[in-house]
Amino acid sequence: MKKQLTRLVVMVTFLLTMVMGSKSLASDEIRFVYVPWTCVTVKTEVAEHILNALGYNASTMMLSVPIAYQALATDEADVFLGNWMPTMSGIAGPHFESGKVVQLDPIMENAKYTLAVPSYVYEGGLRHFEDIAKFADKLDHKIYGIEEGNDGNEVIEMMLNEDMFGLGDFDLIPSSETGMLSQVRSYARNEQWIVFLGWSPHWMNKVIDMEYLKGSDETTFGENDGTATVYINTRAGFIQEQPNVGKFLDNYLVPIEMVNEAMTMLHEDNTMEHLDAGLVWLRNNPEVYRGWMEGVTTTDGEPALPLVEKAISE
């Protein structure tokens, strides 16, 4: 009798473990991490909104780039939509190699990420990385970046530390995205010289008369003068646990035009939220989100498109 009772306890414990494990695998919780860049925020909040409309419990958490990858690698987050490559190779690469973080398909192609200058500086002769040191005094031996720990800042610091292009006596000035661009616009009003970290898509390309410098290669911001591809990353095992979300992410290719226009709306109206700007663009371009919903269902297995159209139109 005692043996039978023991077997019964073991069997019940095993079944409960299996049920709880299955429930965990089927969890509707989707945890996004993002970095405080306008373009990544728009894409992340739109994805969160869509998945919530489909019945998921999606949430977002803002972190720095290194901490975002640490969160994915330790199963404290599920999805990151801002893997700018090749500049994030130094931070993301070890996590890819360990197998703890997985790089999926691109979310955005033909982006740009490299050093830039106002057009009057470009016309004044500073057109290439090799030209920066020639105008060290006019630039006050400074290059302006964004938040500390950012991958772009790391590339700049590497260039300075290794005296690439004769930049060994330059200093990197870290700041926020907003702070850096305020500095650039302030300098531009007086035609002061400045070199800064620029990227596209971004509203800076519309409101600042600027040019991207030539000279980037695989050792700095990437080949083709800093042309970038942005990828989706997940923690290992996530797609196997959430194949329906995986299908959505597989479809989730965001046009540069969407991000550019959303970012311009946000710049022109500082009361507008990132999600609202993304939804305004999608209402005018429904073919984009309809493509995202191909083969995707709600958590109940129903077609996704009707609920998503309702969520975007409201």
CATH number where 155 lies: 3.40.190.100
Return mean pLDDT, the chain. Answer: 91
Instruction: Examine the fold and report which residue of 174, 192, 227 is the final residue of a domain before the chain moves on.
Output: 227
Instruction: Examine the fold and report which residue of 200, 227, 254 is the final residue of a domain before the chain moves on.
Output: 227
* CA–CA separation, 152 and 24 (whole Å): 37
Q: Answer whether residue 80 shows pLDDT above 60.
A: yes
Percentage above 90 pLDDT, the chain: 81
188 in the same domain as 156: yes
Question: In 111-176, where does DSSP find H-type helix?
Answer: 119-123, 151-161
DSSP code per residue over 290-312: HHHTTT-B-TTSSBSHHHHHHHH
Q: How far is CA 33 from CA 73, 78, 80, in A?
A: 12, 8, 5
134 in the same domain as 176: yes
The pLDDT of residue 21: 40
233 in the same domain as 98: yes
Residue 4 in any domain: the answer is no
The pLDDT of residue 27: 80
- For every residue of 232-285, which 3-state class applies, written as one string? EEEECCHHHHCHHHHHHHHHCCCCHHHHHHHHHHHHHCCCCCHHHHHHHHHHHC
Q: pLDDT (tens digit, 9 = 90+) per residue, 251-273?
A: 999 999 999 899 999 989 989 99
Beta strand ranges found along 119-244 (DSSP E): 142-144, 171-173, 196-200, 210-212, 227-235
57 in the same domain as 154: no
Where residue 51 falls among pLDDT bands split at 50, 70, 90? very high
The pLDDT of residue 9: 37
The pLDDT of residue 2: 39
Instruction: Examine the fold and report which residue of 227, 257, 291 is the final residue of a domain before the chain moves on.
Output: 227
287 in the same domain as 139: no
0.75 surpassed by pTM: yes
Where residue 18 falls among pLDDT bands split at 50, 70, 90? very low
* CA–CA separation, 79 and 98 (whole Å): 17
**CA triplet 86, 92, 93: central angle to 5 degrees?**
80
Of 200, 217, 201, 230, which is closest to residue 106 (Cα–Cα)?
A: 230
118 in the same domain as 223: yes
CATH number for the domain spanning 64: value is 3.40.190.10
The pLDDT of residue 19: 38
Where residue 314 falls among pLDDT bands split at 50, 70, 90? confident
Q: Answer whether residue 11 shows pLDDT above 70.
A: no
79 in the same domain as 47: yes
Expressed as residue numbers, the domain containing 101 is 29-109+228-313
Average pLDDT (236-250) is: 98
Higher confidence at residue 228 or residue 213?
Answer: 213
Residue 7 in any domain: the answer is no
The pLDDT of residue 16: 37
Q: pLDDT (tens digit, 9 = 90+) per residue, 115-160?
A: 999 999 999 999 999 999 999 999 999 999 998 888 899 999 999 9
Percentage above 70 pLDDT, the chain: 92
Domain count, the chain: 2
Single-letter amino acid code for the residue at 57: N
**CA triplet 171, 173, 174: central angle to 5 degrees?**
135
Average pLDDT (207-218) is: 94
145 in the same domain as 294: no
Residue 100 in any domain: the answer is yes
C-beta separation of 152 from 188 below 8 A = no
Q: pLDDT (tens digit, 9 = 90+) per residue, 155-207?
A: 999 999 999 999 999 999 999 999 999 999 999 999 999 999 999 988 899 88
Residue 3 in any domain: the answer is no
